[in-house]
Structure 1
Amino acid sequence: MTGASAGIGAATARELARRGFHVLAGVRRDSDRTPLQARDIEPVILDITDAGHVAALAARVERDPRPLRALVNNAGVPGAGPVEVMPLSEWRRIFEVNLFGHVAVTQALLPALLRGNGRVVNISSLNGKISMAGYGPYAASKFAMEATSDALRNELAPHGVQVVVVEPGGVQTEMSRAGLAALTRLGDGMAPEQHARYGALMRAIPAHVAAFTKAGVTADVAARRIAKAVTDRRPRTRYTIGATAAFLIRASRILPDRMLDRMTTSDLRRHYPTDDRGRTTPRVPIRGA
């Protein structure tokens, strides 16, 4: 599996090992190996955007006489900020990790998965179905992962390889905090007119992320859900993690876009800075459907 250094990835590696799998756990640094060292967990250095690392992983799998039962594509990076403000270089970096790196790993391991009638489990997000102000870059990469998974599922179904998507909502990990320093730098670089448009939004995003994360499930709960996606004999095409993700994804299928906009904007507005009268600044209009 990719992205096993910490959080959901590390918890999933341990859960799968507990269930009897030998887990090749992709980590970014040597220092990440030690916390994962355990029976049936083999940490491997893996940057999914590095072609050499991906080739080395494929070679390691080819040397193993055991069949490859599953590939869990979990690696990811956060990326918050207004569409207008986010530099194209950052858009490309986010997509390199959250989409193209996973495509590269999947392509490299497909021969082994086909031989073993294995399974691809792609970790998407609630934001793979719903986006909102300030979350466009990350959500776009996850929407793309959802579309890629749909195509891959149909392409591989006749050949015995199942493709499953897991859509977490809030999960209590450090990933959400990892993007806050980048968000601060992004805000510091905004032009005055951009500050006027997005300054309050930029201050709201960290509080919104913190509240969403605090209300989420633990990494161990998420890991058990991902392990279910790996091991179910007849898996669903999609699994959600957490009540919020389940509710909002279902709502997105039936609500008009404008109504969904009102729901997400109202939730975000609660975290906008307020003036001395307790009013949000700026006062963001919420238009009807």
Structure 2
Amino acid sequence: MTTSSETRKLIVVTGASTGMGASTARQLARHGFHVLAGVRRDRDADAIRSTGVEPVILDITDTEHVEALAARIADDPRPLHALVNNAGVQVNAPVEALPMAQWRQVFEVNLFGHIAVTQALLPALLRDKGRVINISSIGGKYAMATYGAYAGAKFALEAVSDSLRREVASLGVQVVVVEPGGVRTEIAARGITTANDLAARMTPEQNERYGSLVQANNQLMATGTASGLTADAAARVIVKAVTTRRPRTRYTAGRDAALIMRLGPMLSDRMLDRILAANLRRHHPKNATATAPRDERVVHTR
């Protein structure tokens, strides 16, 4: 798979500690690219370091980290072929119950951090006619209950991607969005734990309104990711977006994502509401009150 031209090219993959990001970094290295793999901790750097994969400590919300990454690329004579904006957090809670600090955190990581990295690396990408790959989600098109913050940031990322694509296409930079469905990575387990933590802080009135909904959504999340793509399979879609000479503007990853993206535009909002509600209803706890779990920890990998 390696070509002589690829061995001279750099690729940045953010959020490469585990899951899709780690798998994407390794697969791209096997294609002959030199991958700068963004991780947040030294132990993650030790785990990802391998031939063609150079870990860099990168919190995309930290200005100094982003500037250091840009300086590292500026000092390298190899062209920058692609930036893969993959880092992300999943936070699920009802709109009413999610504290504003968490709303801001989700948007800082899932939107503003990607914009900061993209701004910092665009001069190199413009010079080298590279491409930007933004990892969105089916949640970037359709927002389920308790996904307000996560989907809101992904909706915004989709819009920013469209705008950026139209700004830089004539300058030789391609912008691609990848929209995965359920993927078996650690983000699901962390998302369920966070959802339970947030539910434990809801007021009694909020518990009465949303507790059963939170439990149902956690079960749906666990079930959906259990039947989803492996991280390696999702990464292969990202690698295709990176390596294809003339990539599409959007790729789905997984049959669930492809089905939703195909059928969604054919349905009215009310019809889609009924379908999503019926699907979620199957996961509501039987013979239970609406009270959300206080100490439960669901362990599941995505």
TM bucket normalised to smaller: over 0.9
The residue identity in structure 1 corresponding to 2:50 is A
Deviations 1:35-75 (A, max 9, x none): 11111100000000000000000000000101000000000
Deviation (angstroms), 1:225: 0.6
- Give the secondary-structure state (helix, strand or coil) at the position aligned to 1:69: strand
Please point out which of 197, 202, 216 is paired with 1:190: 202
Deviations 1:244-270 (A, max 9, x none): 001111112221111111111111111
Alpha-carbon distance in structure 1 between the residues aligned to 2:152 and 2:278: 21
Count, aligned residues = 278
Which stretch of structure 1 is more off in the superposition, 258-267 or 38-47?
258-267
Alpha-carbon distance in structure 1 between the residues aligned to 2:261 and 2:149: 19
* Contact in 2 for aligned 1:272/1:281 (Cα 8 Å): no
- 1:1-289 superposed matches below 5 A: 1-275=13-287
TM-score by length of 1: 0.94
TM-score by length of 2: 0.90
- Give the secondary-structure state (helix, strand or coil) at the position aligned to 2:252: strand
Alpha-carbon distance in structure 2 between the residues aligned to 1:253 and 1:233: 29
Deviation (angstroms), 1:183: 1.5
The residue identity in structure 1 corresponding to 2:225 is T
- RMSD over equivalenced CA pairs, Å: 1.0
Alpha-carbon distance in structure 1 between the residues aligned to 2:275 and 2:284: 15
Q: Structure 1, unaligned stretches of length 5 or more?
A: 283-289
Alpha-carbon distance in structure 2 between the residues aligned to 1:241 and 1:143: 17
The residue identity in structure 1 corresponding to 2:75 is R
Percent identity of equivalent pairs:
61
Deviation (angstroms), 1:228: 0.2
Aligned CA distance change for structure 1 residues 249 and 281 (closer, same or farther; 3 Å): farther
Alpha-carbon distance in structure 1 between the residues aligned to 2:272 and 2:262: 11
Deviation (angstroms), 1:272: 0.4
Deviations 1:95-139 (A, max 9, x none): 000000000000000000001000000000010011111111111
* Contact in 2 for aligned 1:123/1:167 (Cα 8 Å): yes
Deviation (angstroms), 1:281: 5.9
- Give the secondary-structure state (helix, strand or coil) at the position aligned to 2:80: coil
